[in-house]
Copies of this chain bind each other. A is one copy, B any other.
Amino acid sequence: MVRFLVMYQTPTDVESFENHYFEVHVPLAKQLPGLRRYTVSRGPSPVRGPDPCYMMAELDWDDMDSLRQDFASPLGQDAARDLDKLTAWCPTIHSTIFEVEEL
């Protein structure tokens, strides 16, 4: 499995960010045909060290080829442009692709 991890630092405008994220961005990304699972993690309670972020989104694909195909599609490019729009209300967004192993 491969995971596209997106970490959002605290938005400068929480309400506009949340509205756009859940009303526009999620419905767009959820149309990607190879997407297998989409979770958002919120409300962090630190145990050891600082909180890594305000919100973390994890989008899973079966393999790197399926992810690449979806990212390169017109819909994937729309979703990437929409992620850029989110920086208007949440300037610090980091994203990484990981290989994931279920133990």
Contacts and interface: CB of A to CB of B under 8 A. Distances in A.
B38 A96 contact: no
- Counted per complex, copies of this chain come to 2
Interface string A54-72: 0010000000000000000
Interface residues of A, number: 35
Interface of A: 3-5, 7, 26, 30, 37-52, 56, 92-103
CB-CB nearest 6 A-B residue pairs: A49-B94, A41-B98, A47-B95, A38-B103, A48-B95, A45-B97
Contacts of A5: 41, 52, 56
Main secondary structure of the interface of A (DSSP, over half): strand
A94 B39 contact: no
A96 B39 contact: no
Given A7-B52, A26-B103, 17 more contacts: A5-B41, A37-B102, A39-B102, A41-B98, A41-B100, A42-B99, A42-B100, A42-B101, A43-B98, A43-B99, A46-B96, A47-B96, A48-B93, A48-B94, A49-B92, A49-B96, A52-B96
